Structure 1
């Protein structure tokens, strides 16, 4: 064993959670639960696992974790510990820093951005940037994975319901990525805690009450000589709860079974613990109260604060009576409660005045931790304090810089309560509300807004309230009437001099025009209001408003403006988002792929995974349109995975629709419909009209591929029917070519013509090249025989090369038309080109149709052969591409938010599937992936 490994183990094995090093007694009735954990240890060489252990208070979760830690030490595991403490829940990343302390030397091996994020999260560095939670989580995963090369790791997290939110989310992130690392994560939480952890594949163990026989054995072993009445009473009250069986007999045993009214076990245990205070000396009792209110287990802090409260000298020996009463345990520099209920009981027993004196003493005692001092200062006073409120403002800003926006909400809320004026109070509640809206916490948002006391003269506060409520809504709300309200709010903001807020409100109004298929009058009102602000035409929000309000008519001018603004300025994430997503609205997919790749790379580096999921979906749709179908599926798969991880159900549905579209046009109709049905289930409670329209486009395109034009017509006409939930005027152009094709070949050309004429008028006078190519295709399909060739040739002009699938369909239709005009020799060339495009794309139904047409024209075709890279999953393909670019496993892991061991596992599978033995062979295998039809 190396010296560094020994040091890690020694530090990690230190009983920082006050676990006894002595051999633990066997747990009564938990043999099966211990066997489950042993099995996780036994198969550690096959990869790691997370196990969530739940149960009621006192059921034995902590005891089971202690047993697991001892068994892991016996197997030479590195053991890491963290325990949630209610008093620390306001300190972001406090528990995570505690757990990773033994591995601090491993942080030096992190890439600079990850190291900076972790140090900022732990308050060890303040570079002005906000470390995204997922970047901190990735850094944590890499520290664990790197340390696991020395020895397997057992990571134990107890009472996670009292962890700070940031640490909890990091743990949940890690739990989903242990498959290839020798790490076992054991997480214990109270039964009924509703915060989700892990995913559907995470192992879960619910601890049940002990059987009657086990309960009797445990009670008799720890409390022999009880009278029959007391024994029966304790067995009944404990109801198989191990803590109850151990602690209830420690109380006064002289009372009869019927002397005490029934109380819930938790309350009875709290009374049992608090009853032990009666016989303690004043110094011991006061020190216990101090320890209960402190948010760190430091003995030094407890003793110093205790001296201030008592007005006399104290030492560690003064804690001895509390240790003897089995209320606390002391190990070197830390004092730990034997059970969280002890802390809870002490907090309830101490009167308010005592708690305030203790918090004041702690505030004066704590050194070098300003935020902790401020929490205790606030707890030590009653009533407002403007100076302290200002300090809290600064604390909230520090929290935001550390990426702990959830903590900043609580801090701003406390600052509001400390404010002496209504104006200051309202401002702080609104700052907290804006953060809650950004974090998608609607219940917290409404609670905060209800506390804002808006004066009728304060128009800006009222507008800020409406802005908070607006940005908290997902991009799925079908409410055209809200557009007019947003225009009105913008006018109020403009009148109050808040021009930036006004343009943000109008940008949101423009988005709602697109989501809600707003009428022409509403759309015009948004443009008029935006122009009235006098902002430069180059303002990205002005450009975006034009795109969302009039995507067809303003497409060309929007594209020109976007081209003038690129590359993206990443200093303002909201502006970058506008620029990177607007181009898809107007159909500038070829231009937008580069922007989206650039913005996605920035989001990936910053760890903003929720936003990355949206951008990946948008990029995937653009790549599909320009013919990079492998890339599109890669983006769709990752988008769905990240959206599910970050709770963005809307974007899970969006990515699933993209997958349905891709597999459908490749000929996998059953798989396509399975994806479509999954997306539809996700969309049911949302009413997301624009995604319903995309879903119908996916189903329609798949049906055309299967030759079911009548079904495609039924699916696609819903996109153009204003009364249908799937109607979306902003997406009609996306469905145009498919709908006209379905209408013509299903015997409903007049319906196709009506839609065609409507879009042609809206796109005049200069349609976007993508739209213009579809218009030529539609004209050719709808034209009289003598006019069709002209429109086919127009459609096959230079612009069509940017849209391979659309060009292939034009070629196929043109070749078929030529053959039906008895010009078979002329038909073969476009049909051959169509076949080559479809083969390159993997569009099997259309490839088959092109071969049939060629056969009818007198020419045979060889069958398409599958390429090696097509056997890889989207994630394997992504890893193979990054490895072919020369990235190491660690660099690939950083890019994809995976551990380097997971990357190595996937590369092993890739080599096996492809029949290759080295990275140098990946390049030749991947030829043609990105631009197969180019």
Structure 2
């Protein structure tokens, strides 16, 4: 027990636990005000439950503190927990036992609460804080007493209970219903601050990155890893040990949970961990395989029950999985090498060598105790063979182990390169880079192997690194692979073109494509044919020919080849080929097909388990939907893509998703989201040379300025991006921004030569047919610059063309400008008609800020906006208001979902909130209320 009557000494820092410390401080505040309270802390091992309790003890100086940590060895002694808590309790002078006079072994559950109240009063009625660490390890009677006291603690004044339990015991009956605070992993920023304190900030940047990655936000593991390294290793002057998080480091964090398990259970868990090695990111180990191997070893499958009771592992259907990945790694790496090999031998023997060839050979290889060229060759052959059951990470493990068993440097480098490629495809770029680094060790490899290594390295940099570096690495890969692997060389050149495209380098795109001669179809590589089938050489040649023509300005010559690419895509299931077809569709201006093809690419990437292509497919899909005017769908896919890109470590793709979300925010009028997404996109786009992402982010800022009526700001942002010169925007985005620039320049009162030059250049681009909305936008731009006698005819022409091109948002912008022009020509009745149409279209598009601007224009004509929310409807959000109006018009939930491009479930969720806010109980009542309110607004 700890007693404090003076201020505590300075407490050690806890990084990233501000919210948790605030919760503990709130509990202390309750005690100071004479009230009681309880807080239950829970979390996985190593996340800092003990540190948080220790900090609470040090910080509490308002009264006595009882602080005890459970002793696992005493959990079988009845009432031992309560006895440990009370054994050092402060007693009145001369007292010979606990204040109640009852021995702890006879203490009923309610007695603990009485004891705590007596202790508080013994200390002159000062607040009492009781801290119990690892309360789940107490004996059952003590846990029952503690839980009883915690649930009724408010019946006595100024007593606080701060308890900690393991994550798997937080829902146990003894602790059910208590206020719960879950500790999660530290954020990268908080973990970095802890690392800097542990090392004094003297860590090499690359070593620092490795440590943070391996620790996964677990402060105890991070501390163990730092303790393991020497000063030379921390400073980057000596190589890091591999694996960095080895068995002893992991056991230091989670070993206590394993030490209490009986040997048969630990042996069975080793089989589970070894089986899980085949699918490290999967849903667990194959239960039937593990149990067959266990029986062969003479282990009782019931030994798993103890592991489940301890919260270490559990079975679910036909899988067995660990609750904490750190525990799984500790079980496997913490076992002696001989026991690991024995476990893999048992698993190999339990597998059918024909039906599960790759898994069987992989376990045999993991059980091998030295080089075995024959086994290595068999394993590499199985890893490269078509097998729908084998995911990329399983293939990567197999190639890496085959390389370990190979005697020659060149064959080893080839195996490690293949392992790196499949690690990349599986969404593990860091693992891929480690394998590439290992492949460089030893004697110089053959050019074909070097070319493969550069292809993987360049592709990794394309998704997460300066795209200029990726471009050069991929061109080098193409040159090295040309004589040996034409298909690999072609893949490298397509990647080099993509890198140059991201950088806004047209000449770089042409150089990448122009250096490729005709090639025959060959077995694929990369993500393009991960199933081992061949790619269609005609498709890639057509894509190359079409893109060369389009990038050279010969759009007439590009249409035929690119159209053939789209025709073949109808029967394709290759995600990379479908992504190329999506690019071809956008170059042709076919946004509908682009959305469809990119959606198929996403489905194909998921079906094949090619995790690295999922964020890219979502990026292409979101961008195609933006071009098609489907802003709500674009936001949903970009948000999902952002999460997927973060998980896959693809910062360049993260930047593109942020840029897409910034464009959506510029339409919806969400200023906070716009700032956050543009800042995030530009933070990566600058250092990595992502000209396209930077241009899209700046366009989003300018369009938001325009929506708020800040035309001069918008024109100033867009001017450098659309004018000729070295600061111009990305070549594929410049013309998309031109209508915004012209509009901003005219509204700002500066319709000078720059705006007229932009219109003429835009006219040339619109004639190409690369954007279905461009003809209408061109007519709108010309209307803005035309003399009064020609303006109306041009606006009418623009609206006619909008009907053919589609897109509510762009049509609404034309209607708004037309309505403004009519009002300024003193034709308010005609202006109101155009402005009301614009308002409805902006509402359908979710463009709040533009809708507000339109309402202001309507008020300026002398009439209120017909659909401006008033009365009870004013309490609804814009989305709720749109849904309410659609329902009032008689639309079903599914029809509303289709109209607003959201899911029926979202419609149902919002509709329930609408009913609650408006106090209505049926769609009929809602329709009457909306009709009545809109009649009142119109009459007013």
Please report how far the alpha carbon of residue 737 of structure 1 lies from its aligned counterpart in structure 2 after TM superposition. Answer: 0.8
Corresponding residue for residue 543 of structure 2 = 543
Unaligned runs of 5+ in 2: 1-71, 86-130, 148-162, 186-210, 224-247, 276-286, 304-319, 522-535, 886-890, 897-901, 931-940
Q: Which residue, 517, 526, 529 being the options, matches 2:504?
A: 517
Corresponding residue for residue 461 of structure 1 = 449
User: Bigger CA drift: 507-516 or 401-410?
Assistant: 401-410
Please report how far the alpha carbon of residue 504 of structure 1 lies from its aligned counterpart in structure 2 after TM superposition. Answer: 1.6
Q: Which residue, 781, 784, 800 being the options, matches 1:781?
A: 784
Q: Deviations over 1:411-460 (max 9, x none)?
A: 21221232244553333222112113324544433433344479889433
**Partner secondary structure for residue 539 of structure 1:** helix
**CA distance in structure 2 between the aligned counterparts of 1:24 and 1:368, rounded to whole angstroms:** 50
Corresponding residue for residue 138 of structure 1 = none
Please report how far the alpha carbon of residue 702 of structure 1 lies from its aligned counterpart in structure 2 after TM superposition. Answer: 0.7
Q: Which residue, 864, 868, 875 being the options, matches 1:864?
A: 868
Residue 796, structure 1, aligned to residue 803, structure 2: no
Please report how far the alpha carbon of residue 851 of structure 1 lies from its aligned counterpart in structure 2 after TM superposition. Answer: 5.5
Residue 753, structure 1, aligned to residue 753, structure 2: no
Q: Which residue, 790, 807, 811 being the options, matches 1:807?
A: 811
**CA distance in structure 1 between the aligned counterparts of 2:585 and 2:911, rounded to whole angstroms:** 35
Residue 391, structure 1, aligned to residue 378, structure 2: yes
**Partner secondary structure for residue 866 of structure 2:** coil
Q: Which residue, 399, 420, 435 being the options, matches 1:433?
A: 420
- 1:329-368 aligned at under 5 Å gives the runs 368=352
Q: Which residue, 132, 149, 165 being the options, matches 1:31?
A: 132
**Residue pair 2:815, 2:834 contacting (<8 A) in 1 also:** yes
**CA distance in structure 1 between the aligned counterparts of 2:331 and 2:831, rounded to whole angstroms:** 88
**Partner secondary structure for residue 384 of structure 1:** coil
**Residue pair 1:617, 1:636 contacting (<8 A) in 2 also:** yes
**CA distance in structure 2 between the aligned counterparts of 1:558 and 1:909, rounded to whole angstroms:** 51
**Residue pair 2:715, 2:741 contacting (<8 A) in 1 also:** yes
Corresponding residue for residue 665 of structure 1 = 667
- 1:192-203 aligned at under 5 Å gives the runs 194=214, 196=216
Q: Which residue, 476, 490, 514 being the options, matches 1:528?
A: 514
Q: Which residue, 439, 459, 470 being the options, matches 1:471?
A: 459
Q: Deviations over 1:692-720 (max 9, x none)?
A: 21111111011011111111122223534
Q: Which residue, 568, 576, 579 being the options, matches 1:577?
A: 579
**Partner secondary structure for residue 31 of structure 1:** strand
**Residue pair 1:523, 1:549 contacting (<8 A) in 2 also:** no
- 1:10-89 aligned at under 5 Å gives the runs 31=132, 34=135, 64=166, 71=173
Q: Normalising to structure 1: TM-score of the pair?
A: 0.56
**Partner secondary structure for residue 371 of structure 2:** coil
Corresponding residue for residue 688 of structure 1 = 690
Q: Deviations over 1:496-526 (max 9, x none)?
A: 3x33223222222222232112144x34334
**Partner secondary structure for residue 461 of structure 2:** coil
**Residue pair 2:836, 2:866 contacting (<8 A) in 1 also:** no
Alpha carbons of structure 1 residues 24 and 291: separation in structure 2 relative to 1, 3 Å: farther
Alpha carbons of structure 1 residues 545 and 346: separation in structure 2 relative to 1, 3 Å: closer
- 1:504-653 aligned at under 5 Å gives the runs 504-520=491-507, 522-530=508-516, 532-533=518-519, 539=539, 542-543=542-543, 546-547=546-547, 550=550, 553=553, 565-566=566-567, 568-569=570-571, 571-584=573-586, 587-600=589-602, 611-644=613-646, 648-653=650-655
Please report how far the alpha carbon of residue 665 of structure 1 lies from its aligned counterpart in structure 2 after TM superposition. Answer: 2.8
Alpha carbons of structure 1 residues 428 and 629: separation in structure 2 relative to 1, 3 Å: closer
Please report how far the alpha carbon of residue 728 of structure 1 lies from its aligned counterpart in structure 2 after TM superposition. Answer: 1.6
**CA distance in structure 2 between the aligned counterparts of 1:660 and 1:514, rounded to whole angstroms:** 21
**Residue pair 2:846, 2:879 contacting (<8 A) in 1 also:** no
Residue 837, structure 1, aligned to residue 847, structure 2: no
Alpha carbons of structure 1 residues 504 and 34: separation in structure 2 relative to 1, 3 Å: same
**CA distance in structure 2 between the aligned counterparts of 1:804 and 1:264, rounded to whole angstroms:** 59
**Partner secondary structure for residue 732 of structure 2:** helix
Alpha carbons of structure 1 residues 859 and 458: separation in structure 2 relative to 1, 3 Å: same
Q: Which residue, 682, 688, 697 being the options, matches 2:699?
A: 697
**CA distance in structure 2 between the aligned counterparts of 1:844 and 1:65, rounded to whole angstroms:** 44
Q: Deviations over 1:862-909 (max 9, x none)?
A: 3434998944599999xxxx995599xxxxxxx99x9x9x99989966
**Partner secondary structure for residue 796 of structure 1:** helix
Corresponding residue for residue 891 of structure 1 = none
Alpha carbons of structure 1 residues 420 and 672: separation in structure 2 relative to 1, 3 Å: closer
**Residue pair 1:812, 1:830 contacting (<8 A) in 2 also:** yes
Aligned-residue CA RMSD (Å) = 6.4
Alpha carbons of structure 1 residues 643 and 194: separation in structure 2 relative to 1, 3 Å: same
**CA distance in structure 2 between the aligned counterparts of 1:347 and 1:849, rounded to whole angstroms:** 63
Q: Normalising to structure 2: TM-score of the pair?
A: 0.56
Q: Which residue, 727, 730, 733 being the options, matches 1:728?
A: 730
Alpha carbons of structure 1 residues 819 and 600: separation in structure 2 relative to 1, 3 Å: same
- 1:175-254 aligned at under 5 Å gives the runs 194=214, 196=216
Q: Deviations over 1:146-198 (max 9, x none)?
A: xxxxxxxx9x9999xxxxxxxxxxxxxxxxxxxxxxxxxxxxxxx9884548x
Please report how far the alpha carbon of residue 730 of structure 1 lies from its aligned counterpart in structure 2 after TM superposition. Answer: 1.8
**Residue pair 2:880, 2:914 contacting (<8 A) in 1 also:** yes
**Residue pair 1:570, 1:602 contacting (<8 A) in 2 also:** no
Q: Which residue, 493, 498, 511 being the options, matches 2:481?
A: 493
**CA distance in structure 2 between the aligned counterparts of 1:22 and 1:875, rounded to whole angstroms:** 61
Alpha carbons of structure 1 residues 760 and 903: separation in structure 2 relative to 1, 3 Å: closer
Corresponding residue for residue 406 of structure 1 = 393
**CA distance in structure 1 between the aligned counterparts of 2:835 and 2:879, rounded to whole angstroms:** 27
Please report how far the alpha carbon of residue 300 of structure 1 lies from its aligned counterpart in structure 2 after TM superposition. Answer: 9.5
Alpha carbons of structure 1 residues 753 and 208: separation in structure 2 relative to 1, 3 Å: closer
**Residue pair 1:555, 1:767 contacting (<8 A) in 2 also:** no
Corresponding residue for residue 124 of structure 1 = none
Corresponding residue for residue 202 of structure 2 = none
Q: Deviations over 1:352-390 (max 9, x none)?
A: 8x7799689858965658777656644665543222113
**Residue pair 2:461, 2:469 contacting (<8 A) in 1 also:** no
**Residue pair 1:854, 1:861 contacting (<8 A) in 2 also:** yes
**CA distance in structure 2 between the aligned counterparts of 1:409 and 1:208, rounded to whole angstroms:** 27
- 1:253-332 aligned at under 5 Å gives the runs 295=274
Corresponding residue for residue 770 of structure 1 = 773
Q: Deviations over 1:301-324 (max 9, x none)?
A: 689779xxxxxxxx99xx9xxxxx
Alpha carbons of structure 1 residues 725 and 419: separation in structure 2 relative to 1, 3 Å: farther
Structure of greater relative contact order (alpha carbons < 8 Å, 6+ residues apart): 1
**Residue pair 2:722, 2:735 contacting (<8 A) in 1 also:** no
**Residue pair 1:884, 1:920 contacting (<8 A) in 2 also:** no
- 1:880-895 aligned at under 5 Å gives the runs 884-885=893-894
